[in-house]
Amino acid sequence: METLANLAMGFSIAITPFTLLLAIIGCFVGTIIGALPGLGPSNGVALLIPISFSMGLDAISALVLLTSVYYGAMYGGRISSILLNIPGDEPAMMTTLDGYPMAKQGKAAEALVVSGVASFVGALLATIGLMVFAPYLARVAYQFGPAEYFALYMLAFCTLGGMGSNNQAKAALAAAIGLGIAMIGLDKTTGMPRFTFGELHLMDGVDFLVAIVGLFAVAEVFHFIESHGKDSAIGVKLGKILVPWRMLKQTSGAMLRGTGIGFVAGVLPGAGASLGSFLAYMAEKSAAKDKATFGQGNPKGVAAPEAGNNAAAGGALVPMLTLGVPGSGTTAVLLALLLTLNITPGPLLFTERPEVVWSLIASLLIANVVLLLMNVPMIKVFVKILSVPAWVLLPGVTMVAFVGIYSLTGSSFDMLMMVGFGVLGYVMRKLDIPTVPVILGILLGNAMEDNLRRAMVLSNGDWTFLFSSPIAVGLWIAAVLGFLAPLFLRRLLKKPPLPTTDPTLNED
Amino acid sequence: MIRGDRIFGAVMIVVALGYILSASSIQTSFMSDPVGPRIFPYMIAAVVILSSLVMVLRPDPDQDWPAGPMVAQLGLALAVLVGYAYAITPLGFILPTTIAAGVISWQIGGNPRRAAIAGLGLAVGLFVLFRVILGLGLKGLPAGMGF
């Protein structure tokens, strides 16, 4: 009952003509961002944060706009997976396995409708799950002291590093680089400058938005120049859109199972949407009677991963809002958004600023309905936009990145730093070092150190205090397991190879 | 020949040692805590050194690194972006954006005339979008020329 009353309050804030307009714009832009190869949800939200901030939107409007973009990008990723066999973003990778074969059999329209509805089911149920579980988790999080928070941050880094990458050492290195960058600036406790080398611009530390836009968007430009836009989109043809009711009914089980798996994967820190869609697909395949048709255009192979990745996107918001610990790259970017808006996620957010939480949830529900309407009847609009060539898109992205940072800070120094992060991102990508832990390190570094130092103040310098409560010990064990278990599991869970791209699609 | 991981690992070890050196000179004030401002940076540097050592000793197979002309292309892109960061304040938005977007477009698409049109189109289009529609504080033309 309390949940419903809260939700009604959220809707009363979120439903104004202006926020509805923002939700529609956000969904539209988000779907485009998701659909365009090379621009994922993290990039998209990262690019738009500085811009929405410079536009002077208030906290709730900015949240509505950017969470709509976030959900929209999750919907949009499937479009290019199905039509071009190029995942629009990483979580949509599994959708290519059956989506593209369906498109080749002339069932592109059916695949798009099924995946659109699956996205809706996954995201809707996950948002309801968020409403139910988040307040509960927030109550547990009340008991967290500095030692528990420190262990929780370790858990986030360890699971992200363990599950999200192929090489533990590289993930640990990436996290440490991020933490090291977070140390730059004035030390909060003593007020002494650290690692500023007398540079005034560094006194406030490195702005995480500069790092995010550089690592995600600018690095992408270097990568595209090198690959000569090989993966660029080209003209796509699509027949009439009819709703295939029978196919929807047939795949409804796959959608629900995918949603459940995806939601759980999303709640776990570090797992995120890519793992959600992967597990949903593998589970659906191993449970199905017609295993052989998976990979050859089975609609269930489209429904399960799409429901899974959208449910994971909702699930990932649970730890982000209640604990302030993001579960994936994109939620890390959303955390950056909240921090930019001066909203500190955590258990207190639910009691002190319930209007933020519940209007966010209400706007997620609104965004979902808008997205269903956009992604099923209006899908052709997005297919047209997909044919924007890379030689217009990428320079555009670069310029938007610069404008965002420039209008936020107005300093050449920050733009140079952004380019520097772009180079770092390019090199790291070449070396197969994940960049998400860097972002997480920059975002969480100061809070992590702060909690460590507060714990030591409480215990008077006794380091065993970090392991003194059952919750903390549990978190440490989970952290170690999350970091080490993938070493052994990796052999069992080999990702299936992507079908090779049709060479005829690669001209220009 | 596996080099990428080894070089990066070695560079990161040097960076981490420099980081430790720099951390050791952080001043503490009279109102400090049991941990102080140096310990956490030391811990970070230790993680960097450990994981870099793993990268040096057990490197992954090398990726395809760009060679010759591609390095020049990437260098050009980098130079354009750095130049853009310096140029946007004195020269306004439209002129530097036309050049930077045009060069990058040419590098990706390879057709100079198309790229020039894309550059100009993006400069004007984005200016209208950001300045006129979204109301961001951008200057369109070089200082002193209005707008």
- ipTM for the predicted complex comes to 0.92
Return the pLDDT at A239: 64
For an interface test with A, the pick among B26, B40, B42, B43 (most A C-beta atoms closer than 10 Å) comes out as: B40
Q: Which chain A residues have a beta carbon less than 8 Å from that of B89? A: 410, 412
CB A118 within 8 A of CB A309: no
Per the domain annotation, does B146 fall within a domain?
A: no
CB-based contact (8 Å) between A474 and chain B? Answer: no
B106 shares a domain with B75: yes
Q: Is A324 left (phi over 0), alpha (psi -120 to 50) or beta?
A: left
Domain identity same for B84 and B123: yes
Q: What is the pLDDT of residue B79?
A: 95
Pairwise CB contact (< 8 Å): A189 & B33: yes
Q: Does B24 have pLDDT greater than 60?
A: yes
Residue A169 touches chain B, beta carbons under 8 Å: yes
Cβ atoms of residues A310 and A262 within 8 Å: yes
Q: Do B97 and A427 touch (CB under 8 A)?
A: no
- Residue A45 CB contacts under 8 Å (≥ 6 apart), including other chains: A66, A69, A70, A73, A330, A333, A334, A337
A237 inside domain:
yes
Site from A187, A416, A438 to mutate, B interface, most B CB atoms within 10 angstroms: A187
Are the Cβ atoms of A399 and B101 closer than 8 angstroms?
Answer: yes
Q: Domain total for chain B?
A: 2
Q: Which of A391, A403, A453 sits opposite B126 (nearest CB)?
A: A403
Range of the domain at B108: 68-133
For the record, the structure tokens of A43 come out as: 């990039």
Listed by number, the residues of chain A in 187-206 with a beta carbon closer than 8 Å to a beta carbon of chain B are: 187, 189-195, 197
Q: Is residue B142 part of a domain?
A: no
Domain membership of residue A508 (yes or no) is no
B116 has a chain A CB within 8 A of its CB: no
Measured between CB atoms, does B128 come within 8 Å of chain A? no
The verdict on B75 and B117 lying in the same domain is yes
Distance CA A34, CA A479 (A): 31
Give CA A25 to chain center in angstroms.
Answer: 19
| Sign, Cα dihedral of A166, A168, A173, A178 | positive
In the prediction, which pLDDT does A228 show? Answer: 65
Report which of A117, A15, A99, A163 is spatially closest to residue A485, judged by C-alpha positions.
Answer: A163
Q: What whole-number distance in Å separates Cα of residue A304 and Cα of residue A306?
A: 6
Which CA distances in Å does A62 have to A126, A360, B44? 22, 10, 34
Whether A50 is covered by a domain: the verdict is yes
Q: Residues 283 to 322 of A: which have CB under 8 A from any B CB?
A: none
Q: Which of residues 20-59 of B touch A (CB under 8 A)?
A: 22-23, 26-29, 31-37, 40-41, 44-45, 47-48, 50-52, 54-55, 58
Check A191 against B60: CB less than 8 A apart.
no
Q: What is the pLDDT of residue A138?
A: 85
- Alpha carbon distance A252, A15 (integer Å): 30
Q: What is the pLDDT, as a whole number, of residue B147?
A: 56
Backbone angles phi, psi at A186, to 5 degrees: -75, 135
CB contact under 8 A, B74 and A54: no
Q: By C-alpha distance, which of A499, A459, A478, A428 is closest to A145?
A: A459
- Put simply, whether B93 touches A (Cβ < 8 Å) is yes
Domain assignment present for residue B145? The answer is: no
Whether A398 maps to a domain, the answer reads yes
Asked whether residue A500 is assigned to any structural domain, the reply reads: no
Give CA separation, A89 vs A77, A132, B67, in Å.
5, 29, 28
Residues 63 through 102 of chain A touching chain B, CB cutoff 8 Å: none
- How many CB pairs lie under 8 A apart between chains A and B? 199
Test A170 with B44 for CB contact under 8 angstroms: no
Asked if B102 reaches chain A (Cβ–Cβ under 8 Å), the answer is: yes
What pLDDT is stored for residue B86 in this prediction? 92
Question: Are A301 and A294 contacting, i.e. CB atoms less than 8 angstroms apart?
Answer: yes
Number of domains in chain A: 1
The residue among A264, A265, A271, A277 whose CA lies nearest residue A306 is A277
Q: How far apart are CA A305 and CA A49, in angstroms?
A: 28
Alpha carbons A311 and A257: distance in angstroms, whole number? 11
Same domain, B129 and B73: yes
Residue B98 scores a pLDDT above 90:
yes
Give me Rg for the CA atoms of chain B. 23
The verdict on a CB contact (< 8 Å) between A175 and B47 is: yes
Supply the pLDDT for residue B32.
67
Q: Given this model, what pLDDT does residue A504 score?
A: 38
pLDDT attached to residue A428: 92
Q: Does A323 touch chain B (CB under 8 A)?
A: no
Q: Is there a contact between A461 and B81 if contact means CB atoms under 8 Å apart?
A: no
pTM confidence score: 0.84
Contact A403 B115 (CB under 8 A): no
| pLDDT, position A271 | 61
Nearest residue in B to A415, CA atom: B85
CB contact under 8 A, B100 and A460: no
Helix (H) or strand (E) holding A341: none
What are the structure tokens assigned to A404, written together?
Answer: 């965002």
Q: Contacts of residue B12 in chain A, CB cutoff 8 Å? A: 173, 177
In a domain, A325, yes or no: yes
Give the residue numbers spanning the domain of A267: 2-494
Q: Which residues of B touch A180 (CB under 8 A)?
A: 19, 41, 44-45, 48
Residue whose C-alpha is closest to residue B81's, from A340, A241, A271, A222: A222
Give Cα A4 to chain centroid, integer Å: 27
Residue B141 resides in a domain: no
Q: Which member of B47, B115, B136 has the closest CB to residue A407?
A: B136
Nearest Cα neighbor of A295 from A483, A44, A498 is: A498
pLDDT along chain A (508 residues), means of 10: 82 84 90 78 82 81 87 84 74 82 83 90 92 86 87 85 76 93 86 82 84 86 75 52 80 89 81 76 83 84 89 87 81 85 85 86 89 84 79 86 84 91 92 87 89 89 88 89 77 50 37
Among candidate residues A471, A452, A475, the one with its CA nearest the CA of residue A144: A471
Interface contact A407-B31, CB threshold 8 A: no
For an interface test with B, the pick among A157, A183, A232, A399 (most B C-beta atoms closer than 10 Å) comes out as A399
Within B39-127, residue ranges assigned H as helices are 39-57, 68-91, 94-109, 112-127
What distance lies between CA A265 and its chain's CA centroid? 13
Residues B102 and B126 occupy one common structural domain: yes
| C-alpha to C-alpha distance for A407 and A414, rounded to whole angstroms | 11
Regarding whether B119 and B98 lie in a shared domain, the answer is yes
The verdict on a CB contact (< 8 Å) between B102 and A431 is no
pLDDT of residue A351: 85
